[in-house]
Chains A and B, each alone.
Chain A
Amino acid sequence: MTVQTYHAPRTREEAVALLAADPAARVLSGGTDLIVQMRAGRAAPSSIVDIKNISAMQAVLGNDGRYTIGAAMPCTGLLRDEGLCKAWPGVVEAANLIGSVQVRNRATMGGNLCNASPAADSVPALIAAGATVLVVGPAGMREVPVEDIPVSPGKTSLAAGEFVAEIRLPVRPPRSADAYLRSIPRTEMDIAVVGAGVSLTLDEAGTCTAARVALGAVAPTAIVVPEAGAALVGTKLDDAALDAMAAAVRAACRPIDDKRGTAEYRTAMAGVLAKRTALIAAARARGEA
């Protein structure tokens, strides 16, 4: 592992210039993916652009119910923002399932997203939440839905010189909440065999008025399953609605067989987890949990 140059820019503009100047440069956030990959010889960047020193890159800002999270905010740092934890418990819990406490003290949601692993834990939760990211680059800034960043395992839609500066969470309507669950053989330090994020809104009578369901590790990227969300809308999340949602989830799965689980198991688990996640989100939306 030999890196020629390490940069620690102080502004977004500097970072963009450095990234644009070296096509083989890589952004460094927490490094919990990048450094592991470099040590294994799977990544060999010629220069490293560490974004942690850029202003607001490690902050959570709440404004009129919206949240802006710096792309290099460590996962454990999210726990310190009470408002964020209340508004988006599913996103915060997903980010805080990653690795161990030591890993999460470094690891970030920005890195989790841009590493583009189909099994990244925070990504389905962010997609379910309707999160967007602010991408900055040589051509300026653009706001992109989270689900549009990863395009295939290890690949993103970011253009040369671009990086993710912020993760943005929308205003949360009343009586709504989110949740995330994953299936792993152990209790921690593991990679999701399946991950499920659900964000939903109930009306005063407890009927679901909006729902987004997103899945990890069942396709080349995390996916949103509109049919699954639609199966919940207009229901009180009775068994029939949950079964219909689970069926939609299973139908959307295109998993692979690998050392972490068979395609059949992954598909079945996606349905099981989506149901359980929806029930947790609903209980939170009702103020019960």
Chain B
Amino acid sequence: MNAPEPKGKFRVVGTRPVRPDGIDKVTGKAIYGPDFVTAGMIQGAILRSPHAHARIRSIDTSKAEALPGVKAVVTSADFPGQSAKIIAAGETSSSLQNIAATCMANGKVLYIGHAVAAVAATTKAIAEAALKLIVVDYEVLPHVIEVEEALAEGAPILHEGMITKGLDPAPDRPSNASMVFTLAGGDVDAALAASAVTVSGHYRTAPVHQGYIEPHACVASWNADGQGQLWISSQGHFDLRNQTASVLHMPSSDLRTYPLEIGGGFGGKTGIYLEPVAMLLSRKAGRPVRLTMSREDVFNASGPAPGIVADITIGASEDGTLTALKLEFWNQAGAFPGSTIHSGVMTALGAYRLPAYFARGWDVVSNFAGTKAYRAPGAPQVAFVVESCLDDIARKLGIDALDLRLKNAARPGDPGPTRVPHGAIGYVECLEAAKAHPHWSAPLGPNQGRGVAGAFWGNYGGQSTAAVALAADGSVQVTTGSPDIGGSRASMAIMAAETLGVPYESVRVTIADTGSIGYSMVTGGSRVTFATGKAVIGAAQKVIATLVERAASLFGVEPGQVEWRDGAAHCLDGERAGESLSISAIAGKAGQFSGPIVAELAVNPLDYLPAFAVHICDTEVDPETGNVSIIRYTTVQDVGTAIHPDYVEGQMQGGAVQGIGWALNEAYVFDGNGRMENPGFLDYRMPVASDLPMIDTVMVEVPNPAHPYGVKGVGEAPIVPPLAAVANAVARATGLPMRQLPLSPDRVWAAIQAAK
């Protein structure tokens, strides 16, 4: 089962059954984070900083504590002291100090919305009234928002004593640059100097939010004996449990954590915000405590994606062969170090053959909420820069934009971003499919332009645990610890059904709490169908081995004389040759054997493969108003094998739409005090349905040989190309460079006016 079978051989893989969690979700029965209720639960509320940067001189909570109905008040003084130890924080990592400070400001507030105190009371209204009675004495400090301000001479320093890591020699003075990451090879300056053409550009994007519909929420209960329970909606209840337990200095196994349904995360629900606060409130109050964020809190105090400032130069020979790429970019990381510079650098180097390259990312902190992973973290911004610059090269040389990419695209065996050779990647196949698509040659009308952009995204594998258990009637229970965000219950059921040879409907999938199964990493890095899928398939294979063994015993033959096929054991030899025993016939006899049939498997597969995508976008620009309409959009992606094609297409469409929003209108807008002016969906403009055409999808299947069914991660790659695809389309519609996002009507109009 190690080589991918030809597509036609699959019975269930590649079909489109209804998802098992669908009915509950569309009828409103599913329990999401803010829905969960438990006996005796009381309500918490959080006091948040009105200042972008201030020292906390003192906090007086006495009046709040005295308010009738108030059961507990918590400040950073209630948190145990933290070390600088770095721990995994979902898709990124962070120091315990910073993880704790993200939950509750310690000594200093670093952004408007930073938590400074919390109250639990018998009602939400009392808790909110109590917040107003807390007196915080602030010493307001100057703040910085933009990268240039943060790096300016004499800028206020957010983290006193922070010395930039990754520079040689190390700087001798603290700054707001936490880290630099560089990958370089060849003599890039010489290669650029020798290039027939070079194109340079200065680019900028704004911080954006994932925009998940469900706000953060949790319920915590912490008993006097030290054991606790946590009910959360997250991308990984094991990782959030670990972070919470680390911050609270408690053994992880003392904190049983239950996953609730998740209403979107996109990377933003891989870290903790409310959990330790709710735990501390619960311990003081002796009651379970709920904390929820409002939409405004989500914008101000969860983790948006960084904006970037970037300078790029790409060189090419006359025939369009790339000679060198030089990129330096500065991530607007928000209040805490650790933004996505590594994946940004990898993005710049993963998709094309580059004889000489230098790519450096800077992690720069400033006074808004610390940024977090957002779908292909760090990649869309950098791909915007690289793929826009490539378009300039194509125009300058008069080469078709897809041909330029085809000429230079990474092929299997070519060096990847860290020079490890690429495996069975499918970028060329995607580019060829894009070129063959009718969209690429469709005529355009006046004021219309067509843009194209490619994408590389590394994907991930990582640790997962799964169990497969048979009931006496032969129906199948699959248990994992991977929250289902994009339809993974259905995908797990499909892979288990395929492996066992049983109908999809006889497999049910549970996402278990931390007390019921072993560890699984967050649902992130497009890893679940790949890695958790491998655990499910492997556990199902162990179940088959047991079924075969028991069937052999029932047939009175050796296991080697029994074949598992179509959900039944077939006797190949002996008196009973030709007879078969169904899965239920064997499972029902568990009492005659060593007990029920169940297998668990823990895996840590690192033989994942990157995903590649190509997006084609047509825009029409209203030359008088600057409004940009997306009139046609096609996504092409190497998806390995589409286990459930509907949900693969859904990922491709969803990623494209989020990227279109990022390109057109989404942005954190700050006033002069560092206050986000648009912390709501009215003025934080994500696309609405009427803004979009149907997003066309073309799945290219180049299977991953290391996965039994050929799976590659599909969830993140589709958000990587749209920023550049849209910008390139607008650039071609207007004949003007579009190097700053978002391309809101006033910005596009101003560019058109300036060119007049």
Binding site for B on A (CB under 8 A): 2, 183, 185-191, 193, 258-262, 265, 268-269, 272
Judge whether A188 and B669 touch: CB under 8 Å.
no
- 17 additional contacts (CB under 8 A) given A185-B627, A185-B745, A193-B746: A185-B664, A185-B665, A185-B744, A187-B691, A188-B688, A188-B690, A189-B682, A190-B682, A258-B677, A259-B669, A259-B683, A260-B683, A261-B746, A265-B746, A268-B753, A269-B625, A272-B624
Judge whether A2 and B665 touch: CB under 8 Å.
no
Q: Known contacts A2-B125, A191-B682, A259-B678: does B665 contact A186 (CB below 8 Å)?
A: yes
**9 residue pairs bridging A and B, Cβ less than 8 Å apart:** A2-B125, A185-B665, A186-B687, A186-B688, A189-B688, A260-B683, A265-B749, A265-B750, A272-B624
What's the minimum C-beta distance from B687 to chain A, rounded to whole angstroms? Answer: 7
**Complex: how many Å from CA A261 to CA B669?**
12
Binding site for A on B (CB under 8 A): 125, 624-627, 664-665, 669, 677-678, 682-683, 685, 687-688, 690-691, 744-746, 749-750, 753
**Complex: how many Å from CA A191 to CA B687?**
14
Judge whether B677 and A259 touch: CB under 8 Å.
yes
**Complex: how many Å from CA A68 to CA B703?**
67
Residues of chain B within 8 A of A268, CB atoms compared: 749, 753
What's the minimum C-beta distance from B425 to chain A, rounded to whole angstroms? Answer: 37
Q: Is the interface of B mostly helix, strand, loop or mixed?
A: loop
Judge whether A183 and B745 touch: CB under 8 Å.
yes
What's the minimum C-beta distance from B211 to chain A, rounded to whole angstroms? Answer: 14
What's the minimum C-beta distance from A187 to chain B, rounded to whole angstroms? Answer: 4
Residues of chain B within 8 A of A2, CB atoms compared: 125
Judge whether A183 and B625 touch: CB under 8 Å.
yes
What's the minimum C-beta distance from A99 to chain B, rounded to whole angstroms? Answer: 10
| CB < 8 Å neighbour of B746 from A186, A191, A262 | A262
> Please, which residue of chain B has its CB at the minimum distance from the CB of A261?
B746
> Please, which residue of chain A has its CB at the minimum distance from the CB of B626?
A265
Q: Known contacts A259-B678, A265-B750, A268-B749: does B688 contact A187 (CB below 8 Å)?
A: yes
Residues of chain A within 8 A of B626, CB atoms compared: 265
> Please, which residue of chain B has its CB at the minimum distance from the CB of A273?
B625
What's the minimum C-beta distance from B678 to chain A, rounded to whole angstroms? Answer: 6
Judge whether B691 and A186 touch: CB under 8 Å.
yes
What's the minimum C-beta distance from B130 to chain A, rounded to whole angstroms? Answer: 15
> Please, which residue of chain A has its CB at the minimum distance from the CB of B665?
A185
**Complex: how many Å from CA A189 to CA B665?**
13
> Please, which residue of chain A has its CB at the minimum distance from the CB of B688?
A189
Residues of chain B within 8 A of A191, CB atoms compared: 682-683
Judge whether A186 and B685 touch: CB under 8 Å.
yes
**Complex: how many Å from CA A183 to CA B665?**
14
Interface centre among A261, A265, A272 (most CB of B within 10 A): A265
What's the minimum C-beta distance from A169 to chain B, rounded to whole angstroms? Answer: 29
Interface centre among B664, B745, B750 (most CB of A within 10 A): B745
**Pairs A-B, 10 closest by C-beta atoms:** A265-B746, A187-B690, A259-B677, A272-B624, A259-B669, A185-B665, A187-B691, A189-B688, A188-B690, A261-B746
**Complex: how many Å from CA A269 to CA B677?**
23
| CB < 8 Å neighbour of A185 from B669, B677, B685, B690 | B685
What's the minimum C-beta distance from B749 to chain A, rounded to whole angstroms? Answer: 6
> Please, which residue of chain A has its CB at the minimum distance from the CB of B743?
A185
> Please, which residue of chain B has its CB at the minimum distance from the CB of A276?
B624
**Complex: how many Å from CA A187 to CA B627?**
10
Residues of chain B within 8 A of A269, CB atoms compared: 625
**Complex: how many Å from CA A260 to CA B688?**
17
> Please, which residue of chain B has its CB at the minimum distance from the CB of A194?
B625
Residues of chain B within 8 A of A258, CB atoms compared: 677
Judge whether B625 and A190 touch: CB under 8 Å.
no
Interface centre among A185, A191, A262, A268 (most CB of B within 10 A): A185
Residues of chain A within 8 A of B688, CB atoms compared: 186-189
**Complex: how many Å from CA A172 to CA B582?**
81
